Each structure stands twice: as C-alpha cells, then as structure tokens.
A and B are shown apart, each in its own frame.
Chain A
Amino acid sequence: MSLLAEMNQKALRLGLPLSVHLDITYRCNERCVHCYLDHDDHGEMTTEEIVDVLTQLADVGVFFLSLSGGEVLMRRDFFEIVERARQLLFNVKVKTNGVMIREKEAARLRQLGVEQVQISVYSHRPEVHDAITKLPGSLKRTIRAIRFLKSQGLKVVIANVLMNGNFSDQPGVIALARELGVSYTLDPTITPKMDGDTSILALRIPGSELRQVFHNQELVGNVEEFCAPPPPPGEDIMEGFPCSAGHTACYISPYGDVFPCVQFPLPSGNVRRQKFLDIWRHSPQLQDVRSIRAKDLSTCSSCAHVGTCTRCPGLAYMEGNMRGPSTADCEKSFQRTGIPSANMLAGAYGSSRGQLIQIQAAG
C-alpha cells in the first residue's frame, strides 16, 4: 500500500475529510456542449466567505484542495483565493480551460506553489475543440496556456472528455500531450445537467467505442489484466465502501452547498449557515451515504462486477437510488469484460434513464 493510500485509510478511520473539491464559480467563458452547469451567478460566496471556508477546511485536516468551476479565472479574486489556500498549506490543484492564462498568470501559479493544473482539451483540431467549447480560438489559447505553464515548470495534465463529436481525435490529443510534455487523462463520462436535463447524455460515446478505449493498451496498460473477468468478491469487498464520496472527500459549490461529491448532487448542508465540521460530522445525508456497504446495494450486491465495478453512487443517485446501479458503470463493466451486469440481466438496464433527480440547494 502506498503512503498516500495509508493516509487515506487513516483519514477514513479518524472520520476526517482529506480532499475537498471547491467550485469557486459556475461562470465560464466557454459554453461546452457537454457541460452540466448553469453558468449564471446565483450568489457566489464572497472572497471572505471562501477564505473562512478554507480556514475551516484546514482546521479539520483537509490536505488536497481542488479549485474548479466554471472557469476559475472568471473570479477576479482567484489568485487571492489560491494565495490564501497556499498559506494554509493545502496541496492545491487547479482545473481550468486555460483560455485566460498567459505568462503572468502562469508565473503567479508557479510562485504560489500550485501542485498541478488540469486543462480540458477536447481535440488537437481547432475545428473540433472550438465547436465543443463554442469559443472560437479557444484551442489556440488553451495550448498557449499549457506552454506558459510548462515553461514555469508546473505539472500540467490534459483532461480529455470523450463524447460523440471527438472520440476519433483521442489519439491526436495524446500526441499533442506528448508534444507539449504534459500528462494525459481521459474521461468517457458525460453526466446529466444540474437542472435534471438529460439531453446531453446523447453525447455519451456508444458501447463499441467504450470497448475500444478499455482495450487500448496505450490507455489502460495491461489489457488482459484490466479487462479480466471479475474475481468472486470476498467479505472485505462486501463490507467495503463504494468510493471516497462523503467518507474522506466532499464537494462544495460556489454557493456554499456541501455535497458528497461533485458528481453526487445530494444536498448535505451549507457552509453559509453551518460550520463545515458540523455538516461533515452530523449531516444526515452524509451519514446515510457513509452507511452504505457493498452488501447493501440493491442489484449490485449480487452482481459479478461488485468488487471491480467503477459504480458511481452519485450517478446511481441521479438515476433515483444511491444504493442502486449506475447504468453508465454497468455499461463500462460490460464493455471492459464482456460480462453483463446483474442490472443488465435483470432487464432494468436503460429503464431508469430519464428519471434523473434534479439538483437542489440544501434546505
């Protein structure tokens, strides 16, 4: 077990949050076709409120802080927030589209000791990338930002969301990452919009393309191992937790709402009305999430994939039951191994689409 994994286990034992994803704004200068956010400002936390939240997070032991949005640089106080976060000794990762990063901004991020900058790139071809972001010239500006960040010695990761319109460009994005000397990560998950609109799910790549991704050695390493049939689950698996959401990690929106994860829109409290620690310790919603063991999952507990599935409880929640299957992950397990999930075999696959829960502010 790595040292980091040991610390994660320790945080779990102590009931402490190790990682927080904080969206400081939902405003954005791009209008990506697959984005799940509403880009209007409905009353973002002020600089003072965010600094107060950061101080609380440091006090309770949060180490990893992801600052994201929206586009983080849409906030004029972005660097003030990063500076305060670094003064509080967080390990800070920034997610951005890079469009507003030039030499000066890159130098400031370096000076502040940001650990990593993740930048979304959808294609190596401007006509494809810019059609997805709906911002002409965005690929050129994003690549320029990556070069500035690299020249400062910052660690940069290109995040490539795969969808219908850009699947075939994925090798081109990998080649671009190589040319720029940065890391590459891909994500084939398209999530419903926060207002419950599921229309963007039509952008998800079909199963046949998902299968290609999972059987690509360059992406997954040892294909035989990655796509192996799941071993029978032991007791440790059945007594285990589905993921870190609500256990050692959580998400805070620009409005102060706390959720188990950015992809798990279960309102669990609001830092404008309660101290973060009170929410973390006493929120009935977080306690409910923490009570779930693999053995408690309806359908999934009897699935062959229960020990190896990437089942996202947030996506399952959006389908109507946080203890139920996430059909997107059923599809992934199936395309990876060729073995249908219990949910697929029960014939329920697909029937829950369109019954997604709408995100709401904590009451």
Chain B
Amino acid sequence: MAEKYIARSSAIAARLLGDEMMVMSTADSTFFTLNEVASVIWQAADGLTPLSEIVAAKICREFDVDQEQALRGAERFVEELSQHGILLVSDKPLMDSSLSLVSR
C-alpha cells in the first residue's frame, strides 16, 4: 500500500484547549475538535513523516493500540479532515505551506 504524507493546511485556525485541539477552516468556517489521539496525529502532520510512521511512533506506543487498527482509524480521520481542506494528503512528502505554522 502506498504511503500517505499529511500536512496541516495554512487555511486553518487551531488551538489546544485542555486535552482537545480546536480546529477551524478559515475557508468554510467548519469547526472541529480533535480528541487526544487525533491531536497527536494533527501535531505530527509535518508533511514529511509517513502516516504509518506517525501511527507507529506516536499512537501505538503512547496509547497501546494495535498498529493495523490504529492505522485504519487514522486514515479515516485524515480522509475526513482532508475533505474540508484542513489536512493536505499526498503519496509524496509535502513541502512547507506558505505560512510557517506554529501549533500551540
């Protein structure tokens, strides 16, 4: 299966509130909250690390879940956010977007 690379879009606003990440698309004002696991994927979305590697290193290790199951969940999450233009997905590494994003 081809690797997926994910990067945060520059057209978003985001902030960590407690253990949840708030994310809003500035294009269509869609508002999401990401749970702890999704927030970890979000913060690791640097465009350069394959999704499978993020899941293995950040999710399976920290949350003690099965790799295959975690990857399926991560792919669904990535798919949903990419439909709103919040995450960029590619089968090749993604270059930095126009804004240098600082996730807090």
Contact = CB atoms under 8 A, between A and B. Distances in A.
A87 B12 CA distance: 10
A89 B31 contact: no
A91 B101 contact: no
Interface residues of A, number: 29
Given A89-B102, A113-B11, A114-B26, A4 B17 contact: no
Contacts of A11: 17
A18 B33 CA distance: 14
Nearest to A91: B13
B15 A115 contact: no
12 contacts: A10-B17, A10-B18, A14-B17, A18-B17, A58-B104, A61-B104, A63-B17, A88-B102, A89-B12, A89-B101, A90-B15, A115-B29
B29 A87 contact: no
A89 B29 contact: no
B69 interface: no
Contacts, number: 69
A41 interface: no
Interface of A: 3-4, 6-7, 10-11, 14, 16, 18, 58-59, 61-63, 83, 86-92, 111-115, 153, 155
Contacts of A61: 15-17, 104
A63 B13 CA distance: 8
Nearest to A111: B98
B48 interface: no
B26 A113 contact: yes
Contacts of A3: 31-33
B26 A115 contact: yes
Contacts of B100: 87
A86 B99 contact: yes
A63 to B, nearest CB: 4
A89 B14 contact: yes
A14 to B, nearest CB: 6
B24 interface: yes
Contacts of A18: 17
Interface in B59-101: 98-101
A90 B24 CA distance: 10
Given A10-B18, A63-B22, A92 B33 contact: no
B35 interface: no
B39 interface: no
B10 interface: yes
Contacts of B33: 3, 6-7
A113 B10 contact: yes
A114 B102 CA distance: 16
B19 to A, nearest CB: 10
A58 to B, nearest CB: 5
A92 to B, nearest CB: 7
Contacts of A88: 102, 104
A57 B92 CA distance: 35
A6 to B, nearest CB: 8
A14 B57 CA distance: 30
A10 B11 CA distance: 25
- Most chain A beta-carbon neighbours within 10 Å: one of B15, B22, B29: B15
Interface string B22-43: 1010110101110000000000
Contacts of B16: 61
A202 B16 CA distance: 45
Nearest to A116: B29
A152 B31 CA distance: 22
A56 to B, nearest CB: 11
Nearest to A154: B26
A58 B14 CA distance: 10
Contacts of A92: 13
